[in-house]
């Protein structure tokens, strides 16, 4: 089952896709537009990549409560479900951006040439791939939206 993960941000939205078997997550793209414009672009990705399931990261507060960003992600997910006719699953994405930064820093220390601009452009997609992989591995449970 092909799954799309979305790391929704105020300025950028990271996307990651699983393989057709639903086992492996990879970074896909970073949309450099605000959330409302990202919706239309994501609908195109769903169609062209034959996505069957969508995972949206909820940026919960460290105490597990929902703040304004999490509420915006829930609303975005509801709109996406209505427009795409696909199931949308919400997962806890706390610390995914931090983990993505650590991953990119480790790659840089390993000799990979990553510019500051390149890091910013890929970071959100890497974060989406990380929480998607955790979901596919059964380490992240779905959260009610």
Contact 30, 15 (CB under 8 A): yes
**Per-residue pLDDT tens for 90-123?**
999 876 655 656 665 555 566 666 566 555 567 7
Tell me if 144 is assigned to some domain: no
Tell me if 143 is assigned to some domain: no
SS3 57: strand
Distance of CA 31 to the CA centre of its chain: 11
Q: Give the residue numbers spanning the domain of 87.
A: 3-136
Tell me if 129 is assigned to some domain: yes
pTM of the entire structure? 0.85
The number of distinct structural domains making up the chain is 1
Please report, for the domain that includes residue 80, its CATH number.
3.30.420.140
In eight-state DSSP terms, residue 10 is S
**Per-residue pLDDT tens for 23-60?**
999 999 999 998 778 999 999 999 999 999 999 999 99
**Per-residue pLDDT tens for 60-70?**
988 989 999 99
């Amino acid at each position: 089952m092909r799954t799309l993960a979305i790391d929704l941000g105020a300025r950028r939205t990271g996307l990651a896709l699983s393989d057709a078997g639903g086992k492996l997550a990879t970074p896909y793209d970073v949309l450099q537009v605000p959330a409302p414009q990202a919706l239309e672009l994501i609908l195109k990705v769903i169609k062209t990549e034959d996505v069957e399931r969508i995972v949206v990261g909820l940026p919960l507060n460290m105490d597990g409560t929902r703040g304004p960003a999490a509420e915006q992600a829930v609303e975005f997910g509801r709109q996406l479900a209505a427009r795409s006719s696909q199931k949308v699953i919400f997962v806890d994405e706390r610390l995914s951006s931090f983990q993505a930064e650590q991953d990119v820093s480790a790659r840089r220390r390993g000799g990979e040439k990553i510019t500051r601009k390149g890091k910013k452009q890929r970071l959100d997609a890497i974060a989406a791939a990380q929480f998607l992989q955790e979901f596919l591995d059964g380490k992240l449970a779905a959260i009610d939206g």
